[in-house]
Structure 1
Amino acid sequence: MDTASKPVIRIAYCTQCNWLLRAGWMAQELLSTFGTDLGEVTLVPGTGGIFEITCDGHVVWERKRDGGFPDAAKLKQLVRDVIDPNRDLGHSDRKAKAEKPAG
């Protein structure tokens, strides 16, 4: 299987803050949703309060910039928007559409 052309997710997390379990859970959620559409999901230990998720080098979430941590549905939407914007995420998308104000 050629994984070289598939998206790569990197989750950098702070070991000082004990965010390994959170990072692992988010990796599991992404792998459960996107499966073999991803080339790899890598956990990258760091320090200094880092919690950053990138997809092919594009920052999809950064704790300080985005204010905390994404929930699973939001993270899946952000990754989907980078790797396959037309993909339907089922209940995650329906929930997000229901929460958007009419405008």
Structure 2
Amino acid sequence: MDAFRNQILQGAQDTSGPDLGRQSCGRAFTDTEMALADAMMAIYGTGVSDPAGLAAELTKKGINAPMSGRSDWTADLLADELAAINADLDAAYQESGYGA
């Protein structure tokens, strides 16, 4: 075997690290982020997947936007909120590393 393969196998066998459910997150999700995610998954389950349709359904359900607190969703607000959440998660990961 080559050195790279040996290193990969050794890393796979190393169980000394913490058992983390979300290793790529630098922080836990907020309640409003989870509510948005749950609502989006429920909406996707009905067959709606376009941004305008998602926004309309989020508004109907009264889901609050995690970053702005708004509940009058538009496709642009959805894009802005998802980008802001992603940027915040990226910043938390840079600051704290993985393992929320």
Query: Normalized per residue, which structure has more strand?
Result: 1
Q: Which structure has the higher relative contact order (CA within 8 Å, separation 6+)?
A: 2
Q: Kindly name which structure, 1 or 2, has the bigger radius of gyration based on alpha carbons.
A: 2
Question: TM (normalized to structure 1)?
Answer: 0.28
Query: Normalized per residue, which structure has more helix?
Result: 2
Question: TM (normalized to structure 2)?
Answer: 0.28
